[in-house]
Amino acid sequence: MSSSSLPTAPAFTARDVAVAYDGKPVLRDVSFEIARGETVAVMGPNGSGKSTLVRALLGVVPLSGGQVWIGGTPLRRFRDWAQIGYVPQRLSVGGGVPATVREIVASGRINRRRRFRPLTAHDRDAVTEALTAVGLLDRADDSVYHLSGGQQQRVLIARALAGEPDIFVMDEPMAGVDAANQQALARTIESLAARGATILLVLHELGPLEPLIGRALTLENGTLVSDGAPQHSDHGCCSGRDHSRTDTGRPPPTLPYIEVSRRA
């Protein structure tokens, strides 16, 4: 366990967290703890502040109020980023610089490696294992720009896996991923949970992750309106609250197959 976190401290503690963009509040008075080893979903309607919350927990956006601790260390003093695997909502490989799938995934090792040293055998094994887990080993040498949106999403997940972190923060990891690969990713996430990882996921619906999610933090208009078991509809499907993108009153069993091109 790293020197900058306490083994028994919660993975995340948020107390009265507030965030404002350009002076406009988007999160208010959000407080919760996530214990080590928990798997927790952040749910809520579009624009309710889900991504902002996970970004605030990682210091990607500044707090306008309140405090965050990671593993018991105040966020401003937290340095052990190798502990954390962050899967953002979309890939940004600055400026259209050509990068292969393998290079992007290997960048997930950056906090584990000694500076300016070549990849070790263990680094290479971790990258191969991560690519295998997301089913992209055969695309390892392709440019990420030649992948579909859903495949790029899987590259981001592989990058986080390659870093072998204890804590995963995934912002809509299933978005744009086809149903078969959602099932495969759900199995990967399940095995991470089984080996004791802490997993915080922004989700629009539980879909194939339903059996894994015992707790959902539900946001509405930037405030935490519920923290507990995800709500089950009469149809047996699960969601946080009324955040479905469908107009049928209940979410579909899996996300639709949307291959949104993110090519440069």
Ligand X SMILES: Nc1ncnc2c1ncn2[C@@H]1O[C@H](COP(=O)(O)OP(=O)(O)OP(=O)(O)O)[C@@H](O)[C@H]1O
**Which of 248, 34, 67 lies closest to 42, judged by CA?**
34
Q: Locate tokens 């440019």: which residue?
A: 143
Residue 44 contacts ligand X per CB under 6 A = yes
Q: Token digits for 222?
A: 């930037």
Report the C-alpha gap between 224 and 50 in whole angstroms. Answer: 10
Binding footprint of ligand X, residue count (CB under 6 A): 10
Q: Token digits for 231?
A: 């709500």
Give the range of 10-18, 49-57, 67-75, 179-187 binding ligand X by CB under 6 A.
49-57
Least Å distance, CB 166 to ligand X, is 24
Residue 151 contacts ligand X per CB under 6 A = no
Residue 244 contacts ligand X per CB under 6 A = no
Q: Locate tokens 């070790």: which residue?
A: 120
User: Of the candidates 11, 26, 136, 158, which one interacts with ligand X according to CB under 6 A?
Assistant: 26
Residue 50 contacts ligand X per CB under 6 A = yes
Give the range of 6-14, 39-47, 96-104, 133-141 binding ligand X by CB under 6 A.
39-47
By beta-carbon proximity to ligand X, the closer residue of 49 and 251 is: 49
Least Å distance, CB 9 to ligand X, is 26
Residue 36 contacts ligand X per CB under 6 A = no
Least Å distance, CB 169 to ligand X, is 13
Concatenate the DSSP letters of all residues of 5-32 into one string: S-TTS-SEEEEEEEEEETTEEEEEEEEE
Q: Token digits for 27?
A: 């999160």
Q: Other CB atoms closer than 10 Å to residue 159's CB: what's the count?
A: 27
Q: Token digits for 16?
A: 């009265």
Give the range of 44-52, 68-76, 100-108, 117-125 binding ligand X by CB under 6 A.
44-52
Q: In what order do the strands lie in the sheet with 24-34?
A: 24-34, 12-21, 65-70, 73-74
Residue 52 contacts ligand X per CB under 6 A = yes
Residue 48 contacts ligand X per CB under 6 A = yes
Reported in sequence order, the residue ranges of 114-254 that DSSP labels E, i.e. its strands, are: 167-171, 198-202, 215-220, 223-228, 231-232, 238-239
Least Å distance, CB 128 to ligand X, is 32
Residue 49 contacts ligand X per CB under 6 A = yes
| Residue numbers at the binding site for ligand X (CB under 6 A) | 21, 26, 44, 46-52
